Amino acid sequence: MGFKLDYLLSILPRLISAAAVNLRLAVIIMLLALVLGTALTIVRSRKIAAVNACIAVVISFVRGTPLLIQIFIAYYVLPAVGLDLSPEVAGVSAIAFNSMVFVSESMRGGLATIDAGQIEASTALGLPPHAIWLKVVLPQLFRRIVPVLINEATIVVKGTALLSVITVVDVLRTSQQIASSSYRPFETMIGSALVFLVINLAISLSGRLAERRFAAARA
């Protein structure tokens, strides 16, 4: 069974419309990861020993276990403790949780490079703590971690393919469905790979443009 380009082209429209699911979930996940990652960073910066110890345990779990297992836990284990989540919600929660940790870790790294003198100057001017975060610290942090965020976004997009195993009908699951009825896994898998590749190339490219604009704004 050889590779047929016209068959690949004929299934692309179905794969592309399924990609809307991956894109939508990836956007939601990234937004959640940014908001939660920022919140987590602020909580950790308070340096409350007991809180940070708990957070450290959670972080080592997230970093030390496969994302697929974390997704299974959200989908199969959480209902046992009364949290019955739909496949999409469970999947989004698991990946967002995972991503939140990586966002927070890179923000923490960026935080160390922000001169403490700036914070003191802000304090001396009378800026309340929340204004110091919003006007002084976070704008600089976000600019500094743009490359990390772009990278994280591509990982999240790829991660949404894992949700096919908990019945979310995304690009991968759609292509599996097509393959099982047409018996042409070659073209369908190449097709879904292409869809992911194009999305991630677009993200990387726009990320690089955004970085260049930030650099230009600073010069």
Partner 1 sequence: MSAVPVLRVSNLTKRFHGVTTLDQVYLDVHAGQIVALIGPSGCGKSTLLRCLTWLEQPDDGFIEVAGKPLGRELMPGGVVRRHSRRQIDALRPQVGIVFQQFHLWPHMTALENVVRPQTVVLGRSRDEATRRGAELLMRLGLADRMDRHPHALSGGQKQRVAIARALAMDPALMLFDEPTSALDPELVGEVLAVLRTLADIGMTMLVVTHEIGFAASLADRIAFMDRGRILEEGPARDILAAPKEPRLQSFLDLVRTDHRIVRTTANPTE
Cβ-defined contacts of 191-195 (< 8 Å, 24+):
191/8, 191/11, 191/12, 191/15, 192/15, 192/161, 194/12, 195/12, 195/15, 195/16, 195/19, 195/171
In the region spanning residues 121 to 140, those forming contacts with partner 1, defined by CB under 8 A, are: 121-129, 131, 135-136, 139-140
- Complex with partner 1: residue 4 or 135, whichever CB lies closer: 135
- Residue that is written with structure tokens 């970093």 in the block: 63
* Lookup: tokens for 29: 């996940």
- Complex with partner 1: residue 68 or 127, whichever CB lies closer: 127
Report the nearest approach of partner 1 to the CB of residue 116 (Å): 9
In the region spanning residues 89 to 118, those forming contacts with partner 1, defined by CB under 8 A, are: 115, 117-118
Binding mask 191-210 vs partner 1 (x if CB under 8 A, - otherwise)? --------------------
- Does the footprint of partner 1 cover residue 218 (CB under 8 A)? yes
In the region spanning residues 16 to 75, those forming contacts with partner 1, defined by CB under 8 A, are: none
Query: Which residues of the shown chain bind partner 1 in the complex (CB under 8 A)?
Result: 115, 117-118, 120-129, 131, 135-136, 139-140, 143, 218-219
